[in-house]
Structure 1
Amino acid sequence: MQQLKPLTLRRNFSWTFTGNLVYAASQWGMLVLLAKLGSPEMVGQFTLGLAVTAPVVMFTNLQLRAIQATDAKRDYVFSDYLGLRLIGTGLALLIIAGITLKAGYRWETSLVILAIALAKAFESISDVFYGLIQQHERMDRIAIALMIKGPLSLLLLGIGVSLTGSVVGGAIGLAVAWGLVLFGWDLGNGRLILKNSSHGREGPDLLVADAEPANSENPLYPRWDGKILGKLVWLALPLGFVMMLISLNTNIPRYFIERYLGERELGIFAAMSYLMVVGQMVVSALAESASPRLAKYYAAGNSTAFRTLLLKLVGVGLMLGAGGVFVAVVAGKPILTLLYKPEYADRADLFLWLMVAAGIWYVSAFLGYGITAARYFRVQMPLFVLVTGSSAIACLWLIPIMGLRGAAIALIVTAIVQAVFSFAVIVYALYRLNRYQGTKSNID
């Protein structure tokens, strides 16, 4: 059997960056397509569907991918993660359906929300396979999935909108695309990784042999051990709350914009804020590639290596932020005119504020990955309660009186709060690690 050796950090980053580049460009293309073929209202409706479904799915996902990817000691096997993810995905669909019925949305908006929920269910199951692949440092497999998923999503969403003249058709096309990627690519890669690891041996170049399910004929079989799943839920629940809060933090401005300013303004804000994804793509690629290594450094007590790698990541975040602000100042209006329509370019000042918020967010995101790699899960819950509360207060105060600019300033306030307190957690984690290593050295 072919051995799948872990890739180097540089190769993993290159693959992840390329995959995220294609996928992010395709996601941005969806908004451009809706803006060009339809109106800001259509963009706002699609954005509202994402805003309603995302916090629920983020919570029930329990951030299992990050826990799985940083599980350097192999405390749980893939079948445990898969079993819990299937339970969480089913629960998410039920909750979203209930919210949709209770909220009293128009029938078309309700259908958009439900179709996006189905797409996110497929994505959630794919995500647990990506955690397995990331754990074994084969980011090329995930990158290829993204390079298939992005263009296919754009194609089927465009076909759906063209055939139906509605966002509903586009959302259904999106669900079909994500389902095809799950069953046509991700399941096969998961099976390959699991079979390979079950025949592997420990060593620096080969995959570590995991204690996978006893049913070797079906390595994708989920394990339904109540005691083990209970322990995993207890471990992951804080991160589930954290991811829900992060999603709420992202979407709270959108809720307030839709409430006070309407779907048209929400569409303009969503289309413009998506340009932040250029930097987020680099952040995700670097952070996802570096997370397993950060976790290994921290687990081994190598605080110097952990701190050095994290500082390099934060430096990249600062440079990305500065670049985004420069582009917004020099060429904001022409870029918006080219990408969307003149009515978007009239809000070039909003673009600048959003780039400032993005730069601060890049730094805080890298710090957040460092916290997770150090396995500091529970502290993230009060941290993001504070962050989300700051977002809600800022939006409630600023959006009614300043409009979309107030929403952008609220993002800046929130990003600063997140960066400051995330840095404090990292400092504490390194202090604890150095103190432990010092105590251990004295005992030895």
Structure 2
Amino acid sequence: MGNNTKKNVIWNMIGTTANAFNSLFFMIIVTRINGLKDSGIFTLAFSLACLFCFIGNYEGRVFQVTDVKQDFSNKEYIVHRISSCILMMVTVLIYCLIMKYDAYKMSVTFALCFMKCCEVFSDVFYGVLQKNDNLELVGKSLFFKSIASILVFVVLDMVTKNLLLSCVGLDLIWLVVLFLYDIPKTKNLIQKEEKISLTNIIKLYKDGFFSFSILFLAVYLVNAQKYALDGIVAESLQAIFGIVLMPATIISLACQYLLQPILNTIANLYALGQKKEFNILIFKSALLVLVFGLVCIIGAYLLGIPVLNILYGVNISDYKLCLILIILGAIFYSLSTLVSAALTTIRHTFVQFIVYSVTSLFALFVSKLFIINFSLIGASLAYLLCMFIQFLLYLLIYVYIMRKQDFKEV
């Protein structure tokens, strides 16, 4: 591995990890300083921001970076991202009005969505940097933003105890780094003679639709119960659910780290037509996820609630069952991610759109029903049930495809 490649890998891992864990630190800060009511507003607003940012991101960086034939220019990707970011913020505004949020809740939601809007706008410049083998700069940008965001957020919140002002501080951090670091670092890599075609901008929306839909529905699915709780339970209960749901995010991220190293091997086995070895590797990886999940369940049963009580400074001892149910759900979600990677490798993506559509519709109807009848236990049960059904559908489809499809050397 070359020196530049090492730097790219290391800095990218540092930056993405720091950015992924930001929400955990923000939740701890808000819960401890502002209390459960503000924490409930924050966890919902942040979840909505994570969902709506996929409208802004739309086709995503993978689509941009893998455009090796250069069907679209850098400038076209940037103009497309500007239009999708505007669409994102208009959607956020319409959603807040439909949900009849009060001025404070709407402002917090809008501020956090704007931060995510800045993040996805930066991402189009990250795509240019990555295509030019400068992933190190992307990692540094994410790392600096993450550290600065936490520092600014905690200082503002401690001094003012004002959640909205603290969220606006996050917006300023992302804007400053965007204009003083991300754009200047990318400027020299964009050729002045690059053309911008309206036809190509529209084509980007068409070509990226299924990628966008799968990612959007995936984020909706893992947060469906949070959205369903909105308007049914008090903000304090929304906060408690956000706290017990947080370990699921960490488990999913940890499983990603376990699975990332085998992706190239999966691709190579498919390319060599080695179907039996391909299936064995998927089976062994699933066992690894299950063993890791079992350790997490035991850890959650023995230490989960005391650790969360210490971290957040609240007593959630009555919600131990919720935590166990959610961790079980997170294990099924991680197994689904593994099967998804296998299906993507053998180029079965449309069927995944169907899986996510079916599971998301199921979550939409079941979550509210369970929450109305069983409150947070109902939300946790709905989460587990949705993740199990998603995994079951993935497993059945995988078995069916493997029986039908013969591997040939690619």
Question: Which secondary structure state, in structure 2, belongs to the residue aligned with residue 261 of structure 1?
Answer: coil
Deviation at 1:131, TM superposition (A): 4.1
Question: Which secondary structure state, in structure 2, belongs to the residue aligned with residue 104 of structure 1?
Answer: coil
Deviation at 1:49, TM superposition (A): 1.6
TM-score (ref. length: structure 1)? 0.79
Per the alignment, residue 205 of structure 1 pairs with none
Amino acid across the alignment from 2:104? E
Give, in whole Å, the separation in 1 of the partners of 2:71 and 2:272.
18
Amino acid across the alignment from 1:33? I
Deviation at 1:34, TM superposition (A): 0.6
1:410 to 352, 365, 382: 382
Report Cα offsets for 1:84-139 as digits up to 9, x if no partner. Answer: 22211111112212322343211111111111121111111122344455567765
Give, in whole Å, the separation in 2 of the partners of 1:356 and 1:51.
21
Amino acid across the alignment from 1:215? K
Question: Which secondary structure state, in structure 1, belongs to the residue aligned with residue 350 of structure 2?
Answer: coil
Give, in whole Å, the separation in 1 of the partners of 2:315 and 2:41.
18
Per the alignment, residue 115 of structure 2 pairs with 119
| 2:148 corresponds to 1:148 | no
Conserved in 1, the CA contact under 8 Å of 2:244 and 2:323?
Answer: yes
Conserved in 1, the CA contact under 8 Å of 2:59 and 2:204?
Answer: no
Give, in whole Å, the separation in 1 of the partners of 2:200 and 2:265.
26
More displaced 10-residue stretch of structure 1: 425-434 or 311-320: 425-434
Report Cα offsets for 1:337-358 as digits up to 9, x if no partner. Answer: 2112342233222222221111
Conserved in 2, the CA contact under 8 Å of 1:239 and 1:380?
Answer: no
Conserved in 2, the CA contact under 8 Å of 1:17 and 1:286?
Answer: no
Give, in whole Å, the separation in 1 of the partners of 2:387 and 2:354.
16
Question: Which secondary structure state, in structure 1, belongs to the residue aligned with residue 315 of structure 2?
Answer: helix
Q: How does 1:133-282 map to 2 (within 5 A)?
A: 140-190=136-186, 195=189, 214-215=191-192, 224-282=196-254
TM-score (ref. length: structure 2)? 0.85
* 1:397 to 1:168, Cα distance in 2 relative to 1, 3 A: same
More displaced 10-residue stretch of structure 1: 53-62 or 103-112: 53-62
2:372 to 400, 404, 410: 400
* 1:419 to 1:75, Cα distance in 2 relative to 1, 3 A: farther
* 1:369 to 1:63, Cα distance in 2 relative to 1, 3 A: farther
Give, in whole Å, the separation in 2 of the partners of 1:187 and 1:374.
37
Give, in whole Å, the separation in 1 of the partners of 2:115 and 2:141.
15
Per the alignment, residue 32 of structure 1 pairs with 28
Deviation at 1:266, TM superposition (A): 0.2
2:359 to 382, 387, 394: 387
| 2:56 corresponds to 1:83 | no
Question: Which secondary structure state, in structure 2, belongs to the residue aligned with residue 244 of structure 1?
Answer: helix
Give, in whole Å, the separation in 1 of the partners of 2:179 and 2:290.
39
Give, in whole Å, the separation in 2 of the partners of 1:416 and 1:378.
20
Per the alignment, residue 62 of structure 2 pairs with 66
Deviation at 1:386, TM superposition (A): 0.6
2:106 to 97, 103, 110: 110
Aligned residues: 408
Q: How does 1:291-306 map to 2 (within 5 A)?
A: 293=264, 297=268
Question: Which secondary structure state, in structure 2, belongs to the residue aligned with residue 408 of structure 1?
Answer: helix
Amino acid across the alignment from 2:320? A
Deviation at 1:300, TM superposition (A): 5.2
Conserved in 2, the CA contact under 8 Å of 1:145 and 1:185?
Answer: yes
Amino acid across the alignment from 2:370? L
| 2:37 corresponds to 1:41 | yes
* 1:114 to 1:397, Cα distance in 2 relative to 1, 3 A: closer
1:333 to 293, 305, 315: 305
| 2:317 corresponds to 1:345 | yes
* 1:6 to 1:74, Cα distance in 2 relative to 1, 3 A: farther
Amino acid across the alignment from 1:343? N
* 1:184 to 1:308, Cα distance in 2 relative to 1, 3 A: farther
Amino acid across the alignment from 1:253? Q
Deviation at 1:382, TM superposition (A): 1.9
* 1:299 to 1:185, Cα distance in 2 relative to 1, 3 A: farther
Give, in whole Å, the separation in 2 of the partners of 1:323 and 1:188.
46
Deviation at 1:141, TM superposition (A): 3.9
Deviation at 1:312, TM superposition (A): 6.3
Give, in whole Å, the separation in 1 of the partners of 2:185 and 2:295.
37
Structure 2: state its 5+ residue gaps: none
Deviation at 1:407, TM superposition (A): 1.1
